[in-house]
Structure 1
Amino acid sequence: MSAAARGDAAGDGRYGEAVFPPQQAGEGERIDFGALAYDDITMARLRTLGVGPGWRCLDVGAGTGTVARRLLDEAEVTSVLAVDRDVRFLAERAVPGLDVAEADITAPGFVTGRRFRLVHARFVLMHLPERERLITALAELVAPGGVLVLSDAVDLTSDRTPGTPYTKVMRSMWRGLRATIGTDVSWVPSYPHLLRGAGLGPVAAEVHVPPLMPGSPISRFWADTWERSRGAMVATGLVDDAAVDSALRYLDSDECAALSAGMLTAWGWKPEETAS
């Protein structure tokens, strides 16, 4: 078995190409299931941070645009620039105040000449290499007095987690995504430290774990995610198709007794500029 298949090396494929292509039927719905599970938590945190009227915002990896639109509708921010490598879902749901830009955030200067009071990225950096460089680059886009808010997944399937069909498949999913597109959530708990290193402060963080219940948005999100990454999971050698099918049945049953991956959200403030 190769090192990549064992999960020892990060794959060089890309999200949206090697797995989760946006043109695949139902991909927008899969993303929306994740939004239903996490958007209320995200919006509550952003409102607590004071995001509101007068704010110019950047939403990185905006997906289907649910957070961007809620910033405009509920927080009544002035404008949102929503950026993604593929903007088909954003273009389908355009609203006043929402600017859409197709760009690769790993490219230098993917946004030029602008600063934002809020820079937000959710479930983006975990799929990308050079994460420290990217956090620094995003921090540079924050206006003085503004805030950078980053959210990514934290894996809760530790060595002491009971062995269930769910646990087995979740572990294989993380390994398969790492071997295929380089996804790595092991470093996510270091977010506060990395934000501090990017010159932001004060910083803080929190974790939210949505409940797994049959038919819930998060359960449907994981079911769709497993189906779409099935090939990558089977390639690890940790599971076969029968194991994935067993986990899908378990996830949709009253027998399910497991923890979803959590969402860690960390934020850091850009110091105000002082007069010399």
Structure 2
Amino acid sequence: MYPSAPTPGQYGETVFPPDQAGEDERIDFGALAYDDITVARLRELGAGPGWNCLDVGAGTGSVARRLLGELGVARVLAVDRDVRFLAARPRPGLDVLETDISAPGLAPGRFDLVHARFVLMHLPTREQLIARLGELLVPGGVLVLSDAIDLTSEAAPASPYSRAVRAMWQGLRDTIGTDVTWTPRYPQLLHGIGLASVAAEIHVPPLFPGSPISRFWAGTWDRARATMTATGLVDDADVDAAIRYLDSPGCAALSPGMITAWGRRPPAGRGT
């Protein structure tokens, strides 16, 4: 039996409430920035016809739908704490489950692919969850985890943009526990749960006026304004200046990027 539907107020709902107008558009801008990279990696790892897949924190379902469409997998179970955007875009082969992936007792099946993107960085029990997600794989199945990685904000010259990035991470950590400092450990963590063929890559999408990632950050900072200013690292004028900079021809900053790590459950009877 699945756990009951999640209660509101945890994780991103406190800063990015799903019922706020335009939240699905903000999520989709992030998808436009990263989906091609994600889908290419899943294809390279063998996702295709016959595969049964779990997409954790599926958001608006962009990856789930591309798994079913472009890659031709058999089924995708899309899990999220709030499934209004998934329910609004149904398609054959897509099953939707509204629940908290960290809830005790959740056992949604066995999968050829378990994928989670921009999820674990928000959860305090991330290491236990990585082990749990690995247990959901069939022998030979692959676990693919992606999260944010920030390579530059601590070393970048002081500017409204760099202050906004620092204030965002600090504000999200203060309010919902987001932490991206540990994400470079993904390969070691996947090795640690017994997965084989572990590897990782980093993608940093370019910032330029009107690009999906620029529009994603602009929407994110506007919604997280109160959280960011509460840190004391920025004020409203700094946030406004950072958003304007994203749309300026002189924008020369490096966006926070995405680290993706993966590993495969060894076939039955074989070790790593």
The TM-score with structure 2 as length reference comes to 0.94
| Deviations 1:108-156, CA, capped at 9 Å, x for gaps | 23234x1000000000000110111010010000111000000000012
Aligned mate of 1:105, from 98, 101, 104: 101
Contact 1:157 1:170 in 2 (8 A): no
Aligned mate of 2:206, from 211, 218, 225: 211
- Is residue 2:228 matched to residue 1:268? no
Partner of 1:242: 237
Q: How many residues of Structure 1 are paired with residues of Structure 2 in the alignment? A: 262
Partner of 2:82: 86
Partner of 2:5: none
Contact 2:57 2:81 in 1 (8 A): yes
Aligned mate of 1:58, from 54, 61, 67: 54
Question: What 5-or-longer segments of structure 2 have no aligned partner?
Answer: 1-8
Question: What 5-or-longer segments of structure 1 have no aligned partner?
Answer: 1-12
Change (3 A) 1:221 1:158: closer
Contact 1:60 1:120 in 2 (8 A): yes
Contact 2:153 2:162 in 1 (8 A): no
Give the secondary-structure state (helix, strand or coil) at the position aligned to 2:140: strand
Q: What are the equivalent positions in structure 2 for 1:1-276 lying under 5 Å apart? A: 14-112=10-108, 114-274=109-269
Cα separation, 2, equivalents of 1:159 and 1:88: 36
Give percent identity, aligned residues only.
72
Give, in angstroms, the shift of residue 158 of structure 1: 4.2
Cα separation, 2, equivalents of 1:214 and 1:83: 33
Give the secondary-structure state (helix, strand or coil) at the position aligned to 2:241: helix
Give the secondary-structure state (helix, strand or coil) at the position aligned to 1:259: coil
Contact 2:30 2:216 in 1 (8 A): yes
Cα separation, 2, equivalents of 1:79 and 1:194: 28
Give, in angstroms, the shift of residue 162 of structure 1: 2.0
Cα separation, 1, equivalents of 2:14 and 2:25: 19
Cα separation, 2, equivalents of 1:26 and 1:159: 30
Cα separation, 1, equivalents of 2:254 and 2:105: 39
Give the secondary-structure state (helix, strand or coil) at the position aligned to 1:99: strand
The TM-score with structure 1 as length reference comes to 0.93
